[in-house]
Amino acid sequence: MQDRRGRLEFYIAAAGAVIVDQLSKFIVKSILPKSETITIIPDVFDITSYYNKGAAFGLMEGSRELLVLISIVAIFAIVKLRYQRSKSRLLAVSLGLILGGALGNLIDRLTINAVYDFLDFHRWPVFNLADVAVTIGGALLVIYWIKTPREI
């Protein structure tokens, strides 16, 4: 029963991350023209329409095919890890969030040849909710590794 619940939580986290990411991008793109900004908190936070043709922080710009391949390999690795260690709910949710974030950005790369970013905290590169899902999933994964006893 616990494995079935973990599997459900994995898919709910992944699907939720993809849906929230793609819906937020659709809404922002529909109200904000390309390369425009709406100030939310002056000098702190804006909504900025930005098409990132690279990876995180704009690295590897112009390497779309390689970034798509890396995303696909990462997605398969996440799914494989999920099924190798299927008993933990924390692991299921963390991997589901990472998977959903990876899928959200992969959808962008395949459909618009870039990743659409819009969350602009002035002292940080512009990002999106898929990136947030990957970051939260990664943090939960670290917590899982810290809390899970290992055999030596």
Q: Is 3 a catalytic residue?
A: no
Q: What is the DSSP string of the chain?
A: -HHHHHHHHHHHHHHHHHHHHHHHHHHHHHHS-TT-EEEEETTTEEEEEEEE-SSGGGTTTT-HHHHHHHHHHHHHHHHHHHHHSTT-HHHHHHHHHHHHHHHHHHHHHHHHSSEEEEEEETTS--B-HHHHHHHHHHHHHHHHHHHS----
List 21, 46, 108, 131, catalytic entry: 131
Q: Is 131 a catalytic residue?
A: yes
List 21, 46, 108, 117, catalytic entry: 117
Catalytic residues: 117, 131
